[in-house]
């Protein structure tokens, strides 16, 4: 494992110079590991455990969007070659095989060896990462205005005015809308909307993000003992038994997904700050809600004996899937840092250090890459993930504590706020 001299929590003190130097080194290692993901055919491709490309997985929209976004961060960190990766990703999103020039929008997956893996569906989840990539590139000074305008226009197809939420999946030509509704794409569209507001100043982005947060968190999750329902019927009624027959689904798992409680908690802090900037006032429930979500994750899912957060629970807080996923601990790192900054409560700094200690001991390998899935004992596992395709969560984890938590990572880097 790639560790400091020890993995005691005190070695990850949030504001220590030694920890910040370690974070800087880890970010560079992550970007180096991800270099082979650049696909000469266009976009970016899945990586296996050794960091070798897996072309058989095809070109996946969520992954291309995330890699392009991470290249923006790498460029702003001053890493050579990252600007070229940004342009490569933007070009693929503009004109590559994922773009549907006939009907509009972007396909979910193309070019996979298994024909059943390819999908010409149009999902708001993947489009959220097109917006994240385009908005971050625009904010960082790249010529991305055309792509940015395109994805904003396309996303209007999913926006349901009466619900104040984004729907999930259209068919290829936008004639059939799937009745399923999901919280996950809406969460990532809150994230992307915050960045879009920084990129163009349009308050519509904050209005929509606020609408989503109120519906999912204030109206539903707060009334559900802070266990966040992920799946909904067409009328946005929670559907708590959705996915019971496929509990290990990548993107629609059964039960309550703990990592999303943590992710939402961090986004609420940024959204509350954006509301104050735009409206002069903010929803007063947001910071307390962030604390409640973090506390529920700790109470239900943190394993005091073995460490790490379980992946999912039932609606009474009993663990359903006890595997440890890299993105969950990465979000615990980011949210504990954000809560420490806005509250000053030392307990959150301790959770930050504890989360990093677990990640360093169990997830991070000698080359700086993160094992994506572990069992409850912290040993390499599979079942949901294979390989190491996802750079986005781990890279951001190295930056959250070094930047203002009330801005996007892109904005913080662009403004020179990196500590």
**Helices marked H in 255-325 — which ranges?**
258-279, 286-301
- Residue 319 — φ and ψ, nearest 5°? -65, 130
Under a CB-based contact definition with an 8 Å cutoff, are residues 287 and 268 in contact?
A: yes
| SS3 of residue 38 by DSSP | strand
Query: Which one from 260, 326, 372, 411 is the annotated catalytic residue?
Result: 260
Query: Which one from 231, 362, 393, 411 is the annotated catalytic residue?
Result: 393
Q: Give the per-residue SS3 of 135-181.
A: HHHHHCCCCCHHHHHHHHHHHCCCEECCCCEECCEECCCCCCECCCE
Q: What is the DSSP string of 82-137?
A: HHHHHHHHHHHHHHSTTB-TTT-SB-SEES-SSTTT-B--EEHHHHHHHHHHHHHH
- Cα–Cα distances in angstroms (integers) from residue 178 to residues 49, 155, 208, 403, in the given order: 34, 15, 21, 39
Query: What whole-number distance in Å separates Cα of residue 344 and Cα of residue 337?
Result: 10
Q: Could you tell me which of 259, 250, 256 has the C-alpha nearest to residue 119?
A: 250
Q: What is the DSSP string of 206-250?
A: HHHHHHHHIIIIIIIGGGGTTPPP-EE-TTS-B-TTTTTT-TT-S
Under a CB-based contact definition with an 8 Å cutoff, are residues 224 and 315 in contact?
A: yes
260 is catalytic: yes
Query: What whole-number distance in Å separates Cα of residue 68 and Cα of residue 277?
Result: 28
411 is catalytic: no
Query: What whole-number distance in Å separates Cα of residue 396 and Cα of residue 405?
Result: 12
What is the set of active-site residues? Answer: 260, 393
């Amino acid at each position: 494992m790639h560790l400091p001299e020890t993995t005691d929590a005190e070695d990850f003190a949030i504001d220590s110079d030694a920890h910040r130097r370690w974070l800087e080194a880890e970010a560079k290692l992550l970007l180096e590991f991800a270099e082979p993901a650049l696909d000469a055919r266009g976009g970016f491709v899945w990586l296996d455990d050794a960091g070798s490309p897996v072309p058989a997985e095809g070109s996946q929209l969520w992954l291309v969007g995330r890699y392009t976004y991470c290249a923006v961060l790498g460029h702003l960190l001053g890493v050579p070659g990252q600007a070229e990766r940004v342009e490569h990703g933007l070009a693929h999103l503009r004109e590559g095989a994922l773009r549907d020039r006939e009907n509009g929008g972007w396909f979910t997956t193309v070019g996979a060896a298994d024909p059943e893996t390819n999908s010409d569906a149009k999902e708001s989840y993947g489009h959220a990462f097109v917006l994240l990539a385009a908005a971050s590139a625009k904010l960082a000074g790249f010529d991305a205005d055309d792509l940015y305008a395109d994805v904003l226009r396309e996303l209007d197809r999913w926006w349901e005015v009466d619900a104040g939420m984004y729907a999930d999946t259209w068919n290829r030509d936008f004639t059939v809308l799937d009745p399923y509704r999901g919280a996950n794409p809406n969460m990532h569209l809150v994230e992307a909307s915050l960045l879009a507001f920084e990129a163009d100043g349009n308050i519509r982005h904050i209005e929509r993000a606020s609408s989503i947060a109120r519906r999912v968190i204030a109206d539903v999750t707060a009334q559900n003992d802070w266990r966040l329902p992920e799946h909904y019927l067409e009328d946005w009624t929670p559907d708590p038994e959705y996915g019971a027959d496929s509990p290990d689904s990548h993107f629609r798992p059964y039960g309550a997904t703990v990592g999303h409680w943590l992710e939402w908690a961090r986004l609420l802090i940024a959204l509350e700050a954006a509301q104050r900037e735009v409206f002069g006032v903010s929803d007063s429930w947001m910071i307390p809600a962030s604390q409640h979500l973090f506390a529920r994750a700790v109470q239900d899912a943190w394993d005091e004996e073995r460490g790490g957060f379980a992946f999912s629970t039932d609606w009474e807080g009993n663990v359903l899937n006890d595997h440890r996923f890299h993105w969950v601990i990465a979000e615990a790192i980011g949210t504990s840092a954000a809560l420490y900054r806005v509250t000053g409560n030392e307990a959150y700094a301790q959770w930050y250090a504890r989360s990093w200690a677990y990640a360093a001991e169990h997830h991070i390998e000698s080359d700086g890459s993160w094992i994506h899935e572990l069992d409850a004992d912290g040993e390499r596992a599979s079942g949901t993930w294979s390989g190491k395709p996802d750079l986005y969560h781990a890279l951001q984890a190295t930056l959250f504590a070094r930047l203002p938590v009330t801005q996007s990572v892109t904005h913080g880097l662009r403004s020179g706020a990196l500590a």
